[in-house]
Structure 1
Amino acid sequence: MARVVPPARPRKLAKVPFVELAEGRLSGVVSSGSDIERVYVSSIAAVGHGFNCSTNNNRPCGGLGGSPCKHLRALADEAVLQYGIERVARYLRADVDPAANTGAELIRALTGGREPAPAALVFSRFLRHLTYLELPVTTEPIPELHWFPATGAAR
């Protein structure tokens, strides 16, 4: 049975609706501050700390240069809220002060530069998660979610 880890602190989903630690990357979807139709797929690699940010239609982020853009900074902030600084730093193999508790401190610990990343896979997983919001409320099992533990189930 898989253990569900509650968020370290509550998150507001409007700015960064999707954050994951998967496939050797901290990845997520970040809403655009200027266009409601646009989102950015941002990611940071665990090995080498290479980072990338592009729109949902694969256009590079205009703010991405030799250092992380505001979307990557927002992703780091939300990852710290979701998973806690210790878990994110351990996953990214980043040397962060144990007393640190913000995404900014995590970003400062990164040693990599701009690097291509698989944005389409992250965006696809995000869209798949959104489909679960459209399911009717039921207490019946959902076959593709069979690996989630039942609430209150014994270990």
Structure 2
Amino acid sequence: MSAWEESSTARVVPPARPRKLAKVPFVELADGRLQGVVSSGSDIERVYVSSVAAGDHAFSCSTNNNRPCGGARGSFCNHILALITEAVLQYGAERVARYLRVDLADAEPDAGSIAAGMSRNRPAQADNSAAAPVFSRFLRHLAYLELAPSTAPLPETQWFPTTRTVA
């Protein structure tokens, strides 16, 4: 058993390229979607929770208090396009395209070709049921940033299973 398997920390995959967190502070490929939190361009106290489903590319965008995005009417809004751009920086274009199951048809993978590939399928607007869990994970990540650096275990992560068996 290797040392990292016995520790309470997980290996972190470094971003494909460095990114600035001001516009899109949280992005993840999870739950069959590209999802994250995007800052508002007009109100510093407002953020949008945006997502695009893998496969059918159904999309959703709403504020942190569940008001629908005015730009997401039948096509991707600027928040979703910013989310795709930051996901490409975080994970790399090939991984994002593969996760979302986008057919790039000989195009060089980048954020623009991924968005165009999804738009060709005429994605539908989905409900925003994923917004609450995504925003909750974002807030939990912010709370971890406020902790002082330490190698001590965090009580809320102690439930992770161990490889040792108890007799």
Q: Under TM normalisation by the shorter chain, which class is it?
A: 0.7 to 0.9
| Alignment correspondent of 2:127 | 116
**TM-score scaled by structure 1?**
0.88
Distance 2:108 2:55 in 1: 23
Distance 1:3 1:95 in 2: 31
| Alignment correspondent of 2:163 | none
Q: Residues 64 and 124 (structure 1 numbering): CA distance in 2 closer, same or farther, change over 3 Å?
A: same
Equivalent residue letter for 2:134: V
- Report the structure number with the largest CA radius of gyration: 2
Which of 144, 149, 167 does residue 137 from structure 1 map onto?
Answer: 149
Deviations 1:50-85 (A, max 9, x none): 001000000000111111000000000000000001
- Give me the identity figure in percent: 66
| Alignment correspondent of 1:90 | 98
| Alignment correspondent of 2:18 | 10
CA RMSD of aligned residues (A): 1.5
Instruction: Count how many residue pairs are aligned between Structure 1 and Structure 2.
Output: 146
Would you say 1:27 and 2:27 are equivalent positions? no
Q: Flag as ranges the 4+ runs of structure 1 deviating above 3 A.
A: 143-147
Is there any run of 5+ residues in structure 1 with no aligned partner, and where? 148-155
Which of 56, 64, 71 does residue 72 from structure 2 map onto?
Answer: 64
Deviations 1:82-116 (A, max 9, x none): 00011011110111246222x22111111212111
Question: In the alignment, is the contact (CA less than 8 A) between 1:86 and 1:98 conserved in 2?
Answer: no
Distance 1:4 1:135 in 2: 18
**TM-score scaled by structure 2?**
0.82
Equivalent residue letter for 2:136: S
